Chains A and B, each alone.
Chain A
């Protein structure tokens, strides 16, 4: 399954809302995760099951969608949220990742 993320780069001002998209080439039900990766760091799980926040993830992060269309929304961007975000499907073997969306400060 191919997962495609858009846009490749998203420029948003602190305090504003960011909306990141992930599209799967076929239905993955709700078996989708989102990860945050900062420069030089390992990815960190943000969302699993399309909409469940991982432990320690602030409530400003929310995930939605099912089937082939998914969205990660960050309601009010904080400085620490600027990073690259990857989606990953785990409905079909092997698990596959999107190419990432870089969220940068506008």
Chain B
């Protein structure tokens, strides 16, 4: 049974870089599927941030693309999120999840569709 666990610093200063890691167990990332990051600001809905296919292709939310980098370490079976130039608006619970592939006609390629399962989130506060 695949399990994911996000971890990282709970407090980040404004203008600095938020760095999180998602450890995956029960399944080898390099074997398949999509993997991604989703966040939930306090009292708000969910927002897709970015992710990748097991081949290494990355897929970012256009609204965050300029500040986001998602990378993978297959030797440790984990992947990471870096979000730079953070502000208070980036305060959220950050989740990592496995994505099921779906063909998007607007981008003419396969990307993550829905997400299952999700890891336990990690809360990040941006504050000085």
Q: Which residues of A contact B (CB under 8 A)?
A: 31, 33, 35, 41-45, 48, 54, 86, 88, 90-100
Contacts and interface: CB of A to CB of B under 8 A. Distances in A.
Interface of B: 44-48, 59, 61-63, 95, 97, 100, 102, 104, 106-107, 111-121
A95 B116 CA distance: 14
Contact of B112 (A43, A92, A95, A100): A95
B45 A98 contact: yes
Given A42-B121, A43-B95, A90-B102, A97 B116 contact: no
Nearest to A5: B45
Given A31-B113, A92-B104, A97-B45, 5 more contacts: A88-B114, A93-B104, A94-B61, A98-B45, A100-B45
Contacts, number: 64
B115 A45 contact: yes
B33 to A, nearest CB: 14
A88 B63 CA distance: 17
Q: Which secondary structure characterizes the binding site on chain A?
A: loop
A91 B112 CA distance: 10
Contacts of B47: 97
A99 B118 CA distance: 18
B102 A31 contact: yes
B4 to A, nearest CB: 9
Contacts of B61: 94
- 6 closest A-B pairs by CB: A33-B114, A42-B118, A90-B113, A45-B116, A97-B46, A99-B45
Nearest to A100: B45
Nearest to A3: B45
Contact of B62 (A41, A43, A94, A99): A94
Given A90-B102, A92-B104, A93-B107, A54 B46 contact: no
